[in-house]
Structure 1
Amino acid sequence: MKNILITITLLTSCFFIQAQTADQAFKKPLKEVISTIESRFKVKIRYPEALVADKQVTYAEWRFRPDLETTLHHVMDSQDITFTKEGEGKYKLQAFQYHLKTPEEGKLQLNYLSTLSPDITSWELRKTNLKNCIWQALEIAKAPAKPQSQAIITSKRIMDGYTVENVAIETLPGVYVSGSLYRPLKSKGKIPVILNPDGHFGDGRYRADCQYRCAALAKMGAMAFSYDLFAWGESTLQFKSEDHRRSHAQTIQMLNGIRILDWLLALKDADPTRVGITGASGGGSQTMLLTAIDDRIKVSVPVAMMSSYHSGGCPCESGMGVHLCGEGTNNVEIASMAAPRAQMIISDGKDWTQFVPQTEFPFVQRIYDLYHASNKVQNAHFPSEGHDYGANKRKAMYGFMAKELGLDLQKIQDTSGNIIETGITIEPFPALYVFGEKGEKLPSNAIKDFEVIEKMFSK
């Protein structure tokens, strides 16, 4: 017995020595391995120099196979690098994109997720588990209590059928979110509330399409509130632009939405039974996620964002790992958590929502069918359009919001019944600022260090 143990020990030691020797003998710089692949397979591979600098591939040529793409997988997977084909004989390398799958992988995931919720009982259980996990992943429960400060409100501008006021709300101690509140010029009784979170578009919430959208909703009879992404717009008076790409930016944006809604619903003429939300791109991500976790929202319209294979390329959309909940979920299942509340999913043909009609929307429809509420969900697809919140997408949203929230669509229609946005004033950017053109009105308690926020959530 003793001799057997000695033999096993010697063999084991020999294996590790050989493995370590082989590890050194077959290790090569990644850049050299890429050159070998290019030469052997007669292809061209482009990449940022910083992506491959100083990286080594263990057992480098042992990873080669007769097939090019199999070889690329074996080599690049070991480095957290992915590749895409750009044309015949041309490839591009990039850092592993954790938020992306292939369309086929997204479809396969949806097929699997369907097996987890074949009936209303199993779906309700999964939805509850997802919701609890999302709350935990976002760490919202760790946030300090809502500050008791009053909202900062600028003077009111009176427009054609609506008014505009700029508002800043302290959502965390020393952390302000800025936005603009559009209201009908004349209204009676309680009126609907519609959140308009911003997305990753140039010019932020100041851009014309955002002003058109909120003003039109106000003319129809709602109070519409548009607000900045974290570390965008006026938020950059407090934080660096790169802070927007920190994981906790997702938590702050969800908390901003919740606490803005708290403030809006405390207004004497707000109707808590008629609450909507709509946004595009990153604003679409916020629309789906906030609807999933906040039951006060009754109508949602995510635009140019719901996809089975794209979870949002910014940490402010996916940095807190909410898509890892339930052993793996995606934006389609998260959007389905709105059921049976009213929802219109707006998609187009030139971004990651291109397959919504045939792939993603049927999954959402099936969940609504479990509630016998198929009439409460719609898909407006624009195959020739791209990634935006353009006029056609807005028109689809106006009709849906009018129907579901009891708004007066005629307020933005011409005599032929066509939706028009004439009579809306597109204000210059500074008109929408709360804190002045140079930030001179920023409160004295405003923090300017992201590390202070991180400490708030470290308890």
Structure 2
Amino acid sequence: MITSPRILTWMIALCLPSTLYAAEPIDHDAALEAYFDHQTSQIELETIARLESDVQYKDEQETYRKQLASMLGLSPMPERTPLKPVVTGEIEEETFTVKNLQFQASPGLYVTANLYLPKNTEKPAPAILYVCGHSNNKKDGISYGNKVGYQHHGIWYAQNGYVCLMIDTIQLGEFQGIHHGTYSKGMWWWNARGYTPAGVEAWNGIRSIDYLQSLPEVDPERIGVTGRSGGGAYSWWIAALDKRIKAAVPVAGITSMRNHIVDDCIEGHCDCMFQVNSEAWDFPMISALVAPRALLITNTDKDSIFPLDGVMDVYWKTKMVYEHFGAEKNLGIAIAEGPHKDTQRLQVNEFEWFDRHLKHSDEQAQPAEKLYEPEQLRVFHELPADEITSTIHDSFVPMAEPPELTTAKEWQEYARNTHEQLSTNSFAHWPVTPTKPIFIDLKSTVTNLIRELTLRFDSQTHVPLTLSVLESASRNPTDPVTVTLHIVDEEPNKENRKEFLPDSPQEISMIFTPRGLGSNQWSGDEKKQNHIRRRFALIGQSLDSMRVWDIMAAIRLVRQTFQDQDVELIVDASGNQAINALYANLMLDHPVDQLVLKDIPTSHMQGPTYLNVLRILDIPQALALAAQNTPINLDGEVAGVLDFYKQLQKLEGVSLKPIQTSDQDVTSVNELDSVDICQIENASDEPDSPLTIEEPENLDMKTFGGSQFWSDIHFFRDFRIQQNVFTQHCRLLDNRNVRYEYGEFDACVAKLEEIRVEQELKPMSGEAVILLHGILRSASSFTPLKKSLEEQGYMVFAANYPSTKITIEQAAADLQKIIDSLEGVETIHLVGHSMGGLVIRAWFGLPGSESIAQQLIGKVVMLGTPNHGAEMADFFDKFPPFHWLMGKAGSQLRTMDETIDKLPIPTVPFGVIAGARGSNSNGYNPMIPGDDDGTVTVASTNLEGMTDFYSFPCLHLYLMRDKRAITAIENFLKTESFTLENETPTNT
């Protein structure tokens, strides 16, 4: 890359002060630790600056309140729709009444609660909103809600003259929502949507205050809020946002940013404890919003997830604000001895604080006791069909809609506003001013006339990164040069290095991995990497947004290095890094000359994640914005992602650079509707051989097949639509595999509708069964089972999917498309053989699947499914042909791969069938321990929570065709048992 004497001299001169440091190996773990410490210190200083200024804080408090609402996904605040409260049961005691209650904070967002009403007390009475912490109360698979675990608090308040409304949370309530989206479920789109369950809990609390104020028994001017642990955090949100709260006691619910980021406390907390911290607040900013109202901060001194030093840090900084208001008497601190536990001493502190500030009483409180069994406090005996509580994360924070623009002026205004919103809401916490990084030469070699350099530079303080350079040793330093900056997840190895070699002497190839990738990786397992990502979000950044910064820094450095030369700069990237490169170019003052983006995700719902980005725009709009200055070449799936760009091109006065796909300019070439992908499957595998695709006719003959290239994604009776795994083109087939249409999905759907009308096909109804085959198999392996089930009256859809070309998760996404297509069917059962069972499990983890399962899915049967991994996959994993043959999914089947362990367990009745040689044998396969079917051990097929289990002597390959398995499946779909009553089982 750098061969001219002048440039070499310049680089060496710049590097001299750092030569000793450059020789040291980079410790990325230590650098990351220093980075988080530095960022936390900056946030602490900014927080103190806001809080210590008397006049400024008072003037800005309402602005801060609005910012908190936005970070909780409550800006704009949802509509206050009718609560529709319903009492479903009552318990009468001598001094109080308990009502089992439900209301809707928003339509379908049900809140289950217990209302404790005192008797023989003056009215209206003070009221306490009690928000519960993480208490799991389940019996026989029924969740009674965390309100059951905290009932003694409500009892005490009612016995002492308070109305107390105790509400369940969306997780661990009677409804089973999610608090662990980024914590353990990989739902990073929560950050992109600006969603946190903390926002829902805050909204439910605000609506609970609405309900309390509607009661004649309640004094609307004397309402307090409290809760412990998770409930302590929700108490902060509610008290900070809603000034109707006159006294608050958050118990063990807050600590400092330093505790979370530097001292690892974040690893003990789920997502409900945090706002989407796009303002980069330390936690005293939240507690200060309660000022000047009554606030007691209380905790135990040995709480490992809310350490005492952090709690006191919050207290002292909050005290500054109470002093600004002259309200020091309204702030208290109570520390009791003990661990993170709901101790009696904490309760007494809480009770006495409310007595003092809501009843003006200083009587000594007595500890509380539980009185009721969980069943007595249950609200719903059957959950309502219209509930969205369990899936509220899918809808609580709306995504930005693509704008409808009609003039060039509107487009220009949209582009300007969008850039500003990205700067202030998604990328606000980049360094204030870019540093001028320098290259430090770590290594230089020349092999086969190719010079390879390894360079180091700092993207920002405490972020050391490396960049590799490949260039011809014969390059003329005075001639124009083309530099291609490849943004990759992993540096090239010996096998793929040739892909990055320059094609001519005047081309330079640079290979760059942003932070946390390739040689810049941090140590630790997937769980550790997950919590690193969560730390970025809590300091107002995201890991992906900082990778965008790294790419910008690399681009600036390349331009700086070649500032005196005629250079064309191209950025090439794939997948998530392609989108990171897209935004880097979009946010740069000096964009690159061309973007080459491959296999891009079409939405930030799949990645990458920037805070709040989906509240601003999505990837289709980002492509159009980048095309204002830079030509773009797209390689891979582009269906739909360019619709917005095409609409803009039709507007008079709008001029955008071309976006090309497959070497075609989309502004002048129609979609490739005429391509029949069937012929691609039989094309030469030689990488350099030309491929000619001709347009075929829809003849009354079978297709060329290609079961490992096509996914079934849509069914209607005997017709199905398949999608090619590589090109994404679709084809419409009947049950004889005769093709009726090809091209875009919409064209296939339209043709299917035409057939439905012509043949007068009736709508579907009744019960359906979807059959999913194992790896390397096809739907035809289910032929005997399909025929038998159809004779039993079921509609049966044996689905093909390219098991060796896609992952288990991708196959689950295609299963969702099939389920969506079965319009009119009342119940859908799922049957999977081997990996097909894992695909079914993966489906239960998709967004929205819980609601679908509750309404539509009947039963699940797994046959020979390696629910804990397949030992044979472990064995063959050592041999390269295994990976060529089995693909990514094959690797996921290994026992050491974490994919299977993370798959959810079906939430509907499910049974497991296993092939087994017999209890007294070592199985069919001597290479794996225990009884087995030749491929999967019986132990691996077992899954916690299964409704029934059935095994019999049979090899893995024949399980789905065995008459015993077919009979057992039919029995299970009818009765949830593999054997009918009085039938002798054949289990071994």
Q: TM-score, normalised by structure 2?
A: 0.34
Q: Give 1:401's aligned residue.
A: 354
Which residue identity lines up with residue 222 of structure 1 in the other structure? Y
Q: Give 1:432's aligned residue.
A: 377
Which residue identity lines up with residue 166 of structure 2 in the other structure? S
SS at match of 2:174: helix
Cα contact 1:231–1:243 (8 A) shared by 2: no
- Alpha-carbon distance in structure 1 between the residues aligned to 2:207 and 2:76: 15
Moved over 6 A (4+): 104-108
Cα contact 1:346–1:379 (8 A) shared by 2: yes
Identity, in percent, stands at 20
Counterpart mapping for 1:33-432 below 5 A = 65=24, 72-74=29-31, 77=32, 109-110=43-44, 112-142=46-76, 144-148=78-82, 150-203=84-137, 205-208=146-149, 210-236=150-176, 239=177, 247-309=195-257, 310=259, 313-321=269-277, 324-325=278-279, 328-350=280-302, 351=304, 352-355=306-309, 358-382=312-336, 384-406=337-359, 419-421=366-368, 424-432=369-377
Cα contact 2:249–2:297 (8 A) shared by 1: yes
Q: Deviations over 1:107-136 (max 9, x none)?
A: 885455223333421111342222121122
Cα contact 2:109–2:392 (8 A) shared by 1: no
SS at match of 1:147: coil
Cα contact 2:147–2:167 (8 A) shared by 1: no
SS at match of 1:359: helix
Q: Give 1:453's aligned residue.
A: 395
Q: Give 1:21's aligned residue.
A: none
Aligned residues: 362
Which residue identity lines up with residue 273 of structure 2 in the other structure? E
Which residue identity lines up with residue 284 of structure 2 in the other structure? V
The alpha carbon displacement at 1:457 in A equals 5.8
The higher radius of gyration belongs to: 2
The alpha-carbon distance between structure 1 residues 444 and 270, as it changes in their structure 2 partners (threshold 3 A), is same
The alpha carbon displacement at 1:184 in A equals 0.8
- Alpha-carbon distance in structure 1 between the residues aligned to 2:156 and 2:74: 33
- Alpha-carbon distance in structure 2 between the residues aligned to 1:371 and 1:404: 17
Cα contact 2:83–2:211 (8 A) shared by 1: no
The alpha carbon displacement at 1:139 in A equals 2.8
SS at match of 1:337: helix
CA RMSD of aligned residues (A): 3.5
- Alpha-carbon distance in structure 2 between the residues aligned to 1:334 and 1:241: 20
- Alpha-carbon distance in structure 1 between the residues aligned to 2:133 and 2:83: 27
Which residue identity lines up with residue 235 of structure 1 in the other structure? F
The alpha carbon displacement at 1:379 in A equals 0.4
Cα contact 1:231–1:244 (8 A) shared by 2: no
SS at match of 1:369: helix
- Alpha-carbon distance in structure 1 between the residues aligned to 2:22 and 2:95: 68
The alpha-carbon distance between structure 1 residues 372 and 450, as it changes in their structure 2 partners (threshold 3 A), is closer
Which structure exhibits the higher relative contact order, with contacts defined as CA atoms closer than 8 Å and separated by 6 or more residues? 1
The alpha carbon displacement at 1:192 in A equals 1.2
Provide structure 1 residue ranges, at least 5 long, that are not aligned to the other structure.
1-7, 19-61, 84-95, 411-416
Which residue identity lines up with residue 233 of structure 2 in the other structure? S
The alpha carbon displacement at 1:451 in A equals 6.6
Q: Give 1:56's aligned residue.
A: none
- Alpha-carbon distance in structure 2 between the residues aligned to 1:63 and 1:198: 53
The alpha carbon displacement at 1:388 in A equals 2.3
- Alpha-carbon distance in structure 2 between the residues aligned to 1:358 and 1:107: 17
Which residue identity lines up with residue 377 of structure 1 in the other structure? L
The alpha carbon displacement at 1:251 in A equals 1.9
The alpha carbon displacement at 1:456 in A equals 4.9
The alpha carbon displacement at 1:333 in A equals 2.3
Which residue identity lines up with residue 297 of structure 2 in the other structure? I
Cα contact 1:343–1:377 (8 A) shared by 2: yes
- Alpha-carbon distance in structure 1 between the residues aligned to 2:221 and 2:23: 62
Structure ranking higher in helix proportion: 1
SS at match of 1:401: helix
Cα contact 1:143–1:456 (8 A) shared by 2: no
Query: Which range moved further: 196-205 or 399-408?
Result: 196-205
The alpha-carbon distance between structure 1 residues 171 and 456, as it changes in their structure 2 partners (threshold 3 A), is farther
The alpha carbon displacement at 1:444 in A equals 3.6
SS at match of 1:392: helix
Q: Deviations over 1:356-392 (max 9, x none)?
A: 575332212221111111111110012x311122111
- Alpha-carbon distance in structure 1 between the residues aligned to 2:295 and 2:393: 37
The alpha carbon displacement at 1:332 in A equals 2.0
SS at match of 2:175: helix
The alpha-carbon distance between structure 1 residues 206 and 195, as it changes in their structure 2 partners (threshold 3 A), is closer
Which residue identity lines up with residue 304 of structure 1 in the other structure? A
Cα contact 2:131–2:235 (8 A) shared by 1: yes
Cα contact 1:189–1:269 (8 A) shared by 2: yes
Q: TM-score, normalised by structure 1?
A: 0.69
The alpha-carbon distance between structure 1 residues 345 and 148, as it changes in their structure 2 partners (threshold 3 A), is same
Q: Give 1:32's aligned residue.
A: none
Cα contact 1:332–1:363 (8 A) shared by 2: yes
Q: Deviations over 1:241-287 (max 9, x none)?
A: 75696534222111111111111111122211111001111111111
SS at match of 2:308: coil
The alpha carbon displacement at 1:105 in A equals 8.1
Which residue identity lines up with residue 389 of structure 1 in the other structure? D
Cα contact 1:117–1:126 (8 A) shared by 2: no
The alpha carbon displacement at 1:148 in A equals 2.4
SS at match of 2:395: helix
